[in-house]
């Protein structure tokens, strides 16, 4: 067994590998860029080596520097994690040539399966069902349109070296095929250094289901059940679960056996995943093989009781697998939500910056610990006060739950999301909550088009209806009453002017454009010792009990005897007296005061925000990589104005109306803030 390994990655996967290595008594070496100097994975590792500037192409994608770090520290093996160089056959080969063990498949297997075009040929030869398509590299956008027409729309345009949703577009017509080809090529070149692109038929109403494999050097190959990954937004997975609520035991067995046959055909070793697209009739077709550990591997670990990272390390060290196919378990139900730094209410644009507060829900399951199951686990590479940089992907953490069945797992996940506190950057937690509450998700009735079908106009606050909005109002009143009770006990109050807690309040729920609602609330039976009170709203009564303190962002307690977890944030940029109450993905901003205060507040004029319609604003923090206009230029609506890059994704900004460019307010290469003006029209 190795005594020291280097992790050629960053973020949560680097932290995940370190935990298993520590359990096995193996010392670890982290590598880091300028942007990650103070990152969590650097602090967790036994040693750390700086490998270059922030952009991944100047650090994490440089094989020479990673190999040099191995030699410098005496690391005997490299774990590549996922992304970056994890599926780079040349990197795997060079590592092995230097006498360092690659904790992953051999380079010939990566070359065969990592190339999406070649893998289709090999899969067909191995007897694996394949999707119709043209598996040749396409050189021009015009040729892409011609091929797409011959296959028939819709088609899927994919980068040969792509993965994780990067370098992938679905085209419904010639225009989308032409533009999608160009975008795929650019993304693939920037993310993977390989701009080859191919096209295949897009199967409508498909499910994305994948089989987890593990294989050793002695010829043993097992499939570790399946993962359901159909809940996707723009081809990037959002929620994953294991097992799938859709496929039968017979389909599971057939998919597993085909995946094993493919792995054996390329003499595969280590962990890997074979992805399938599955039709409504449970017919299935090979998509691709990921020759690495997947982001969603924890759900498989939950239902099988196996530490996949440990198995990868042991296989790389030459050990045989410790179990047979018949011994692979399928226990309970696991769900994973990807918690991303993106703003769901602004079309999921990236959100970067400082994590002012980062407090995940309480964990009782842990990565690398196979002794604890049925609970909550958080895999993350960030920490309170850390920075979310613009140079890498948007994932902050993975929230994993394991229940006895699917219904329990969904309930556990919703409660865990309620207790996940992230401040300073936006996150997709409200969106995750809405998905979990959707009746079709709860019924297991979905496919890869679920998000596009149900949120075609984007995600809005009204897409997160709360089961009981009065509860949020009652909770705001409860927190305010608790605060007033504390104020009554302050010493040094002038006689006749002491603070009185009172029992009658008005909760003003702040709406868009000054459209506020006013709810009279009566608080009675308040007990500071027990942290309880009865809140009456119209003809309803809420008995709330919570010992959470006033400065706690996360409030835990019970309402009418039912446990709850909610978040209450005090103060905002707009108004320091605002209480923001969040529960089950829904949020209200409220002012709680006396009835007289509410009367006076209604008389205050609404101050409208300034008109910014003549500006093109940056919708997110990012790098301005292109300005397509210049002062004096006439621009038509829909014309390209600028391109911003953040978290490995290109975002093109278009003119909203016809106009003439007055000023260009930002320069190419400049780092932009949210809502920073880029171009002004006259």
Which DSSP string corresponds to 57-99? GGTTT-HHHHHHHHHHHT--EEE--SSTTTT-HHHHHHHHHTT
Task: State the greatest distance between any 2 C-alpha atoms of the chain, in Å, as a whole number.
Answer: 91
Q: In angstroms, rounded to a whole number, what is the distance separating the alpha carbons of residues 482 and 533?
A: 9
- Name the nearest CA neighbour of 269 among 307, 311, 297: 311
Q: Which residues contact 139 (CB under 8 A, 6 or more apart)?
A: none
- Listed in order, strand segments (DSSP E) in 461-514 are 504-509
Q: In angstroms, rounded to a whole number, what is the distance separating the alpha carbons of residues 336 and 242?
A: 9
The residue with tokens 């205050």 is 604
Structural tokens at position 181:
């080809």
- Listed in order, strand segments (DSSP E) in 548-614 are 554-559, 562-570, 579-583, 586-593
- Listed in order, strand segments (DSSP E) in 394-549 are 395-403, 421-423, 504-509, 517-527, 532-537, 540-545
3-state secondary structure of 568: strand
Say how far residue 325 (Cα) sits from the centre of its chain: 32
Which DSSP string corresponds to 127-147? T--B--EE-S----HHHHHHH
Q: In angstroms, rounded to a whole number, what is the distance separating the alpha carbons of residues 288 and 296?
A: 16
Residue 317 buriedness (CB in 10 A; 0-12 / 13-18 / 19+) = middle
| Residue count (the chain) | 682
The answer to whether the CB of 579 falls within 8 A of the CB of 590 is: yes
Structural tokens at position 231:
């809940």
3-state secondary structure of 162: strand
Q: In angstroms, rounded to a whole number, what is the distance separating the alpha carbons of residues 583 and 587?
A: 7
Which secondary-structure segment (H or E) carries 602?
A: helix 595-603
CA atoms within 13 A on the CB side of 560: 8
Cα dist. 21→369, 498, 661 in Å? 12, 60, 57
The catalytic residue among 87, 187, 200, 288 is: 288
Q: In angstroms, rounded to a whole number, what is the distance separating the alpha carbons of residues 98 and 157?
A: 37
The answer to whether the CB of 264 falls within 8 A of the CB of 122 is: no
Q: In what order do the strands lie in the sheet with 133-134?
A: 133-134, 197-201, 155-163, 166-171
Q: Residue 514 carries which DSSP code?
A: G
Structural tokens at position 180:
């999608």
Cα dist. 25→20, 76, 430 in Å? 9, 14, 40
Indicate if 288 belongs to the active site: yes
Q: In angstroms, rounded to a whole number, what is the distance separating the alpha carbons of residues 149 and 649?
A: 27
End-to-end CA distance of the chain: 69
Q: What are the b/e assignments for 594-633, b being 16+ CB within 10 Å?
A: eeeebeeeeeeeeeeeeeeeebbbbbbbbbbbebbbeeee
Q: Which residues are catalytic?
A: 288
């Amino acid at each position: 067994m190795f005594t020291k390994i280097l992790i050629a990655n960053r973020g949560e996967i680097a932290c995940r590998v370190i935990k298993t290595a520590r359990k096995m008594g193996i010392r670890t070496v982290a590598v880091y860029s300028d942007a990650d100097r103070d990152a969590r994975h650097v602090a967790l590792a036994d040693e750390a080596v700086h490998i270059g500037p922030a952009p991944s192409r100047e650090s994490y994608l440089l094989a020479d520097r990673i190999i040099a770090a191995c030699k410098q520290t005496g690391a005997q093996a490299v774990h590549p994690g996922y992304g970056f160089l994890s599926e780079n056959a040349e990197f795997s080969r060079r590592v092995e040539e230097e006498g360092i063990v690659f904790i992953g498949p051999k380079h010939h297997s990566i070359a065969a399966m990592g190339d999406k075009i070649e893998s289709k040929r090999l899969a067909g030869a191995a007897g694996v069902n394949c999707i119709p398509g043209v598996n040749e590299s396409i050189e021009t956008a015009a040729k892409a349109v011609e091929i797409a027409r011959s296959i028939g729309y819709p088609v899927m345009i994919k980068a040969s070296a792509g993965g994780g949703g990067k370098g992938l577009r679905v085209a419904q017509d010639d225009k989308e095929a032409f533009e999608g080809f160009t975008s795929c090529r650019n993304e693939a070149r920037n993310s993977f250094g390989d701009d080859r692109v191919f096209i295949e038929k897009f199967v409508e109403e498909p499910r994305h289901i994948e089989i987890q494999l593990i294989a050793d050097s002695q010829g043993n190959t097992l499939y570790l059940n399946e993962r359901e990954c159909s809940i996707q937004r723009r081809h990037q997975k959002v929620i994953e679960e294991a097992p799938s609520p859709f496929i039968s035991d017979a389909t599971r067995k057939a998919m597993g056996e085909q995946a094993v046959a493919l792995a054996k055909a390329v003499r595969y070793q280590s962990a890997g995943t074979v992805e399938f697209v599955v039709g409504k009739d449970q017919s299935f077709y090979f998509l691709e093989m990921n020759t690495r550990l997947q982001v969603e591997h924890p759900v498989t670990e939950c239902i099988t009781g196996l530490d996949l990272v440990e198995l990868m390390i042991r296989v790389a060290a030459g050990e045989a697998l410790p179990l047979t196919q018949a011994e692979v378990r399928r226990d309970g139900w696991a769900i994973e939500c990807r918690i991303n730094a993106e703003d769901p209410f602004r079309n999921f644009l990236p959100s970067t910056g400082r994590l002012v507060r980062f407090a995940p829900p309480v964990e009782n399951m842990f990565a690398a610990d196979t002794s604890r199951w049925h609970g909550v686990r958080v895999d993350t590479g960030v920490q309170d006060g850390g920075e979310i940089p613009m140079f890498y992907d948007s994932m902050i953490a993975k929230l994993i739950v394991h229940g006895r069945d699917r219904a329990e797992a969904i309930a556990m996940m919703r409660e865990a999301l309620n207790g996940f506190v992230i401040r300073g950057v936006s996150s997709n937690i409200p969106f995750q909550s809405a998905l979990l509450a959707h009746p079709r998700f709860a019924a297991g009735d979905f496919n890869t088009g679920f998000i596009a079908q149900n949120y075609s106009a984007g995600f809005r606050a009204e897409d997160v209806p709360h089961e009981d909005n009065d509860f949020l109002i009652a909770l705001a009143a409860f927190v305010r009453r608790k605060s007033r009770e504390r104020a009554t006990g302050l010493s040094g109050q002038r006689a006749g002017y002491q603070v009185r807690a009172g029992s009658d309040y008005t909760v003003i729920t702040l709406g868009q454009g000054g459209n506020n609602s006013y709810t009279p609330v009566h608080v009675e039976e308040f007990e500071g010792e027990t942290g309880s009170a009865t809140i009456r709203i119209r003809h309803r009564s809420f008995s709330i009990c919570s010992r959470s303190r006033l400065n706690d962002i996360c409030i835990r307690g019970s309402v009418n005897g039912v446990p709850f977890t909610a978040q209450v944030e005090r103060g905002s940029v707009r108004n320091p007296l605002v209480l923001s109450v969040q529960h089950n993905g829904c949020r209200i901003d409220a002012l709680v005061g006396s009835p007289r205060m509410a009367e006076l507040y209604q008389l205050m004029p609404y101050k409208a925000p300034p008109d910014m319609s003549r500006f093109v604003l940056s919708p997110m923090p990012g790098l301005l990589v292109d300005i397509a206009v210049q002062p004096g230029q006439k621009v038509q609506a829909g014309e390209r104005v600028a391109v911003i890059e953040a978290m490995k994704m290109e975002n093109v900004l278009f003119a909203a109306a016809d106009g003439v460019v007055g000023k260009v307010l930002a320069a190419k290469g400049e780092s932009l803030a949210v809502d920073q003006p880029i171009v002004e029209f006259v």
